[in-house]
Chains A and B, each alone.
Chain A
């Protein structure tokens, strides 16, 4: 008889606070319940208050792992992108959130972990090590990252430059990257506003790209960032995405 395989939680052995901030954090039964409740509430809110419309949902891969990237203007962005996923994929979604905003104090970190299922990105010290951890997780277990390659919310609603760090996560891998463009979030809840206005949101999802042929090195990372920036930009300018999904 072969030995049984045990796989402790990725954050096993970490203290409570470290575990909330760990990139290897795994959700258990309690987290599943709190996150599901949160997602239901957010979905109702986005549909009701913002009359969210989603185009191109057929471009989303049927199975994890994949990455969703989008423009970033508002705290509504990550909620909206995660909410666009079909219900059976939603529990695999990890918004990549700014550590200094979403994981600074223990109470906020608890909320980010137990409700949003967010993983922290520390903007001041976001070294290759964190990217490696994110990449390893994406390639080894069913994972969907929701991330914003501009690195910060755009203050005027325009599309900023995409940072190449994202390339370290997906270069030389088959993992699809889905470009998305969220319209209306800047008007509804810009960075300087606390309470969102009841303005409509429109999410456009484009056909996925993958970067198996792009070298996992600086030039490759920049190429990936540029391609995704162009894809998101095209969704912005071109309106509705092409109707035919990629094979």
Chain B
């Protein structure tokens, strides 16, 4: 449909419909007097952000393989920038430049469909980070600078980079749109089921508002939704069996929630409330995209192991003949 994978098309249409209906829902609730003025302003700010954010996120995925890969590269760079400014890593320009270079090369490897290089970049960039930090000739704080550089590159470069490479696979577009939808809804499900059933705190020191009820509720609802979507995308393949569908759904929900907790931990350690101010009502990019970080590699390697993403055949569409 319009050159899109049918599942990707229907998900995009569904998201568009929800975005259109939401303001009407707000108006109805407001008229009925269910919303306090502060809650109402908060909801509208968040809604307006989603209105900008959704096309920015879904647009490149629908636009095709290269826009999706470039979009992921830009997201990785923006996430590193936020992390660097919150930790102070941005003051170490050579380390930051190497992280940036690593992200650009990962993006290139994905665009080129050169999986060998994509994999090699993890160890090569990490080696370069460790070595380049020597050139300051300043042993004080060396381990911290290097470790933070490697940490950031692993999370925002390597982990997020898997989304870019995913776009190369069969039905990559549909998988990416479905993953994005389910990761975002995973947060919503956790919030709603936490409000409804949540009593016992999950990890009060890391994130005081999370409850075990919320985590379980999200796991059940997200698993059901993602299993259904994968059933449509991978219809008739080896993945289209209950055991794989449930495993994929659970994996997505759990890795999504872990990503959220990791970023909460980072924020607590830094002593900041938000990592940035990019998205009004949400905070920084990382406050919004934290749950995506570990889902990408988990989904990528699961799907590749059982279904195959064509990685064993080097394509090298740019560097090949």
Q: Is B198 an interface residue (CB 8 A)?
A: no
Chain B's nearest CB lies how many Å from the CB of A166?
Answer: 28
Do A29 and B93 contact each other (CB < 8 Å), given the known contacts A8-B272, A12-B272, A16-B277?
A: yes
| B86 CB–A CB distance under 8 Å | yes
Which residues on the A side are within 8 Å of B81 (C-beta)?
28
Whether B87 and A6, one on each chain, are in contact in the complex, defined by CB atoms closer than 8 angstroms, is yes
Task: Among B88, B96, B274, point to the contact of A7 (Cβ < 8 A).
Answer: B88
- Is A26 among interface residues, defined by CB-CB distance under 8 A? yes
Chain B 214-251 per-residue mask, 1 if CB under 8 angstroms from chain A, else 0:
00000000000000000000000000000000000000
Decide if B272 touches A28 in the complex (CB within 8 Å). Answer: no
B117 interfacial by beta-carbon distance below 8 Å: no
Q: A15-B277, A28-B81 are in contact. Are A8 and B100 (CB under 8 A)?
A: no
How far apart are the CA atoms of A29 and B272 in the complex, in Å? 22
Q: Is A28 touching B277 in the complex (CB atoms < 8 A)?
A: no
A62 in contact (CB, < 8 A): no
* Assembled-state Cα–Cα distance A89/B201 (Å): 52
How far does the Cβ of A152 sit from chain B's closest Cβ, in whole Å? 34
0/1 per residue, A13-34, Cβ < 8 Å to B?
A: 1111000000000101100100
**CB-contact partner of A4 in B84, B85, B86, B144, under 8 A:** B144
* Cβ B277 vs Cβ A29 within 8 A: no
Task: Classify chain B: how many residues form its interface, as a range.
Answer: 20 to 34
Contact B90 A13 (CB under 8 A): no
Q: Does the CB pair A9–B88 fall under 8 Å?
A: yes
Q: Which residues of A contact B270 (CB under 8 A)?
A: 6, 8
Cα(A16)–Cα(B279), bound, Å: 11
Q: Which range holds the interface residue count of chain A?
A: 10 to 19
A28 touches B144 (CB 8 A): no
Q: How far is the CA of A148 from the CA of B272 in the complex (A)?
A: 37
Q: Nearest Cβ distance between residue A202 and chain B, in whole angstroms?
A: 34
Quick check: is B124 within 8 A (CB to CB) of the other chain?
no
B73-103 interface with A by 8 A CB criterion: 81, 84-88, 90-91, 93, 96-97, 100
How far apart sit A29 and B86, CA to CA, in the bound complex (Å)?
Answer: 14
Q: Known: A26-B90, A28-B90, A29-B100. Is A9-B277 also a contact (CB below 8 A)?
A: no
Q: Could you tell me the distance between the alpha carbons of A26 and B81 in the complex, rounded to whole angstroms? A: 13
Within the complex, the shortest CB–CB distance from B225 to chain A, in Å, comes to 35
Given contacts A13-B274, A13-B277, contact A8 B87 (CB under 8 A): yes
Given the complex, which residues of B lie within 8 Å of A12, measured CB to CB?
85-86, 272
In contact, B93 and A8 (Cβ under 8 angstroms): no
A53-78 residues at the B interface, CB under 8 angstroms: none
Q: For window 187-229 of chain A, which residues contact chain B by CB distance below 8 Å?
A: none
A contact residues around B88 at 8 Å (CB): 6-9
Report whether B87 and A28 are in contact in the complex, using a CB–CB cutoff of 8 Å.
no
Which residue among A15, A28, A32 has the maximum number of chain B CB atoms within 10 Å of its CB?
Answer: A28
What is the minimal beta-carbon distance from B181 to any residue of chain A, in angstroms?
29
Q: Is the CB of A14 within 8 A of B277?
A: yes
Verify A29–B96 contact, CB threshold 8 A: yes
Residues of A within 8 A of B96 (CB): 28-29
CB distance from B142 to the nearest CB of A (A): 12
Q: Which residues of A contact B91 (CB under 8 A)?
A: 7, 26
Query: In the complex, how many angstroms separate the beta carbon of B254 from the nearest chain A beta carbon?
Result: 28
B97 close to A29 (CB less than 8 A): yes
- Chain B residues positioned under 8 Å from A13 (CB to CB): 272-274, 277
Whole-angstrom CA separation of A191 from B144 in the bound complex: 50
Query: What residues of chain A lie closer than 8 Å to B271, measured between beta carbons?
Result: 6
Complex Cα distance, B100 from A26, in Å, reads: 19
Report the minimal beta-carbon distance from A228 to chain B, rounded to whole angstroms.
32
* Min CB–CB distance B44 → chain A (angstroms): 18
Kindly list the 5 A-B residue pairs having the minimum CB-CB distance in the complex, ordered from nearest.
A7-B88, A9-B85, A28-B90, A29-B96, A6-B87
List 7 additional contacts besides A6-B271, A28-B84; criterion CB under 8 Å.
Answer: A6-B269, A8-B88, A8-B272, A28-B96, A29-B90, A29-B100, A32-B93
